[in-house]
A and B are shown apart, each in its own frame.
Chain A
């Protein structure tokens, strides 16, 4: 079937199999490979992207379901001038990554979380990340990065 998605602000039209998953569309058709495939069973969150601004697991969404909608991947976060998104910068500054595999999903989950709750408590950050697994168990710095990103966006304060 023919699908047309807006990915990181760019329209992409393609003829795909009906069963094509959004994550495969992003990686294989749009050639955007920051979004990783981890567990493939809606558990680990490595494939998290934004669909119309909200976090979803792209291994559990059909490209057909996203037809006509807007998708944001990690590649779409930085400014055109290359300036990192506050959440990316916070990961850099707080050492929020070890092997890096879960990082794109973690960053997208946090972008969505902070949109819904701009100044979360540490508990709210941890609960908000329950759908994302870090195999290196680097959670403390990931949570610190989320809180730092919230604080740097003005409103937030780490409570």
Chain B
């Protein structure tokens, strides 16, 4: 399969990328690692007229200790997030989630910012960043603005990014107890997207593929805060969710998986810390 025709342009800096986006308007789409976008283009689900390749915008590939948080350039690859000594020590949930994305070949190309901006409801990193209360730094023609993860994801493949804006940095607060993490993903084959997934950091719980966007399991979180046991709190994992039914699983089965995986994740997180 070959993608539909497009014009390829290449940016080497953030400013150049924003300039190219302004020049080409809504016909253009940013290309980061391409591990989600290129397959969608081959299947004709996406057909941008212009692709702005960000692969050489090296200024957006970094992982920096910023004291209370870690700043990650949007073009940092999953492979580098997964192997970061800083993240493995201070935010292991994020490093281990990156390790769970796709397969080694995909992790050599795919980027954290690409995954966030693509906003697939079944993707791993958005839910983990939601559980970690990350902030996304967005740069556009009118300046830079921070968007909390809780306000970033708007719907299936839809985000708070305005046309021409570029996600430049992900800021992830260091959790008080880094070891209290768990990442659970249920799928049929190793490289499949999660049928349902759960990211836990302390008592923060986020769900993958239980709606059109990554969701916080607020009923579980409130139950835990009110002193409920892990088993009782996990029973409320599907409350407030809107999982779909498809060839892989019915809605009822996804809700069941959410309850089971939340329990396992909370148990694992508390056993680690």
Contact = CB atoms under 8 A, between A and B. Distances in A.
Interface of A: 1, 17-19, 21, 24, 40-43, 45, 48, 51, 54-57, 60-62, 64-65, 109, 112-113, 127-128, 130-132
Interface residues on B, range: 20 to 34
A57 B106 contact: yes
A60 B34 contact: yes
Contacts of A21: 2-3, 38
A18 B43 CA distance: 17
A45 B43 CA distance: 18
A43 B191 contact: yes
Interface of B: 1-8, 10, 31, 34-35, 38-39, 42-43, 51, 53, 55, 79, 102-106, 108-109, 190-191
B104 A55 contact: yes
B110 to A, nearest CB: 10
Contacts, number: 82
Contacts of A56: 105, 108-109
A55 B108 contact: yes
B106 A131 contact: yes
Given A61-B38, A64-B8, A64-B10, 19 more contacts: A18-B7, A18-B51, A19-B3, A19-B5, A19-B8, A42-B35, A45-B105, A57-B106, A60-B35, A60-B38, A60-B106, A61-B34, A62-B53, A65-B31, A109-B105, A113-B104, A130-B191, A131-B105, A131-B106
B188 to A, nearest CB: 12
Given A19-B6, A24-B2, A45-B103, A60 B109 contact: yes
A40 B55 CA distance: 22
A128 B4 CA distance: 32
A17 B5 contact: yes
B55 A60 contact: no
A109 B191 CA distance: 15
29 contacts: A1-B8, A18-B51, A19-B6, A40-B42, A41-B1, A41-B43, A42-B38, A42-B39, A43-B191, A45-B103, A45-B105, A48-B105, A56-B108, A56-B109, A57-B106, A60-B34, A61-B34, A61-B38, A61-B109, A62-B8, A62-B53, A64-B53, A65-B31, A109-B105, A130-B190, A131-B102, A131-B103, A131-B105, A131-B106
